[in-house]
Structure 1
């Protein structure tokens, strides 16, 4: 019995057709196919002049006459007790021992290795979503915690101004001004000279004799800022303390920050208000998930951050991840180098 054959004959595109005729649209002549499609008018895609990644790190040389803060590959990992950490142990004896004791040690990376240099006269904004590592960075800069790896250098002790800055609720604003100035190292005579300036910046002329517990959170923040900047700090760190002020207070704040910068100081401003960041900062660092994503022009960094948060708030996690990866690719790694003989040595 003979096997029936199929009438189908294999053909390849752009190949010769059977009997010299066109084969139902499969046999195409490249010259004929190109005619009329306008392929000659297609232009090459224009890529950025600079590559997305730079394999070689950018060397940042620290000038001892200009630098205020230098962070060299600093990271922070917190170790906390955990009741379930024994499940991650690879050794059977250790796993059973930790289970019997009821606890183990868990490591939580709060901040990955990052490096940057801030010179005198700069105002650096720090942005990022909640839990991204901004407060950890501020604690590293002030010396409240030590980095797990790397080093943090500062030319003077930074002054930290936060939403929880110490003010005495039971006494008046007038007495808090005097007490705050004395706590920051001013003499009574120097505190008296600074009094009028502090009142002018805070704008609390009519509330000076009220107890602090009668102040709103915005009024207390304004008083904190005015007291903290009264000593002309060389390095000032502001953590979420300017978000409650009105337009007039922001104008006075910017003027005062400009004066601090003009006196060879630098300012770090942590805020969720992108308007405040763009108005007051000359440079912005974006930290997300413990990693530095961007360090540069306030307008560009804030636009990327705004796009990222918009996608996340609307549940577009894939689009947010694309913005995250794209922004990270634009960041050039920094290698901090000191001039010979100028690298600080650790105490002790």
Structure 2
């Protein structure tokens, strides 16, 4: 009996090791756990991704909610715009539905997180707009990627086969049995301990560790007023994505030069306007002098560069000057709240209304 038990433990251990070491194997139980409301399901991301990293109970938040399509501001407006975005998860909900955008009859996005390409049919009778949107922490790694940004919005030729285009959904169809030890630790933790019935225990442990020892999970930082969790890579000045990492003028000039190449590419293809929209890290707006550090102002330096050819949609001043800026970002997530999303979208729709008027007139 003892020997049989030992074999069972060994087999289960090997199974967990193999599943945790292969991302595509971990994907299957992960999707089931995220979808389940049962005791064995996962609530890791139901209350904010930073909560899911730390399990600090005081930051447990309600789900984000759904944005409402643009109505009153755009009532009676002719829809002459085709608006396409290269974007991260901040604005996927915005650009996936043209009803959200003032004057738009077509919209869509290429997810820069996955290096997606968005196939579009170019309509010369519409006003065609491209938006390059990136969260501040992605300015250096994403906005310098000319090769990807220039092909992310792919104008289809007559009869062109789209099967060669890179999309996240297409990549997920293929199974790859590749060991990925870089993510193995996180996968081990997920497969062994991430179950809803264990959440109270994890919350109690996190609360004790923070209250007694002033320590949190390494991926999160608690704001000085203890109202927000910040993603550590945006708050730790040693990280490239940090709001406090020194950024040289040469680096800023490189970003501007590369964005201008992307601009010229899309203008050459016939697009009427190319926008740049950089969404600030929460810490940049809420704690620009966190722990005595100095904000690097990379957003203003890129947007204000006299050589930049893209049209700027300025999210930084929109947020930092808002009297309710404490409501813009989630307390427990790397993203904004529904309120913050609507602050951004309402201002962006005023810009789209002006674009729409250019063809209406």
Same fold (TM over 0.5): no
Give the structure with the larger strand fraction: 1
Give the structure with the larger helix fraction: 2
Give the TM-score taking structure 2 as reference length: 0.26
